[in-house]
Amino acid sequence: MNDTIRMSKQRRWSESKAHSSWQIFKIMAEFVDGFEALAKIGPCISIFGSARTQPGQEPYERTVDIAKRLAEEGFGIISGGGPGIMEAANKGAQLGGGKSVGLNIELPFEQQANPYIDRECSLHFEYFFVRKTMFTKYSQGFVMMPGGFGTMDEFFEVATLIQTGKMLQVPLILVGREYWSGLMHWLETTMQKEKYINSEDLELLKVVDTADEVADHVLHFYSKHPLQPNF
């Protein structure tokens, strides 16, 4: 490597380190804005699922019903702020008279906030990990609708945080027995069989089909546990 190339690489490395130092302040600002906004809202349930689901499709309409039912029970609804299941969740929250929160991030399938988010509850994030922290800190339950990689990522992150004691146990509900049955079968017959998880880990999960089942599970859980931030 000649001296010119070496100096150029060193300069780019120094510029990258300087950029990383300033990036800390942007990250801190996202945390502060998120904490200040969400701490005022009260108990919430996060609903995750595919951005590709369309109005009129069964998972979309079921999500509207679930969010409406939970809102009627006094819970705000948090979504990822985009279209699909996220839009359905925010729509149901407004129909049920509850707080409708959107934690949006720019992605190929969810670049614009959906129209059902309360104006004061619409937050935009640049960093995925900051956004995830907001979900996990301020949600008193998680409802997983059918979805893809993003939904699986959110599901397993929450399950891991609860399993490892990094956040309090909260309701973790998978909606759609037909959709989730293959994964649950694999968890039981492969992952548990190989002793990578145990039966207590699987008991963290509740698989249901209806809005009433979701609401009943959440209400039963909080008849025995206090409502509070998760960590």
Q: What is the pLDDT of residues 119-137, one digit of tens each?
A: 999 999 999 999 999 999 9
pTM here is 0.89
> Can you say how many angstroms the Cα of residue 117 is from the centroid of all Cα atoms in its chain?
15
**What residues have CB less than 8 Å from 157, skipping those under 6 apart?**
132, 136
Question: For residues 199, 200, 201 and 205, what is the CA-based torsion angle, rounded to 10 degrees?
Answer: 100
Helix (H) or strand (E) holding 105: strand 100-105
* pLDDT one-digit tens code per residue, 136-182: 999 999 999 999 999 999 999 999 999 999 999 999 999 999 999 99
Structure tokens at 202: 């699987």
Query: Which residue carries 């992952």 as its tokens?
Result: 191
- How far apart are alpha carbons 188 and 202 in whole angstroms? 8
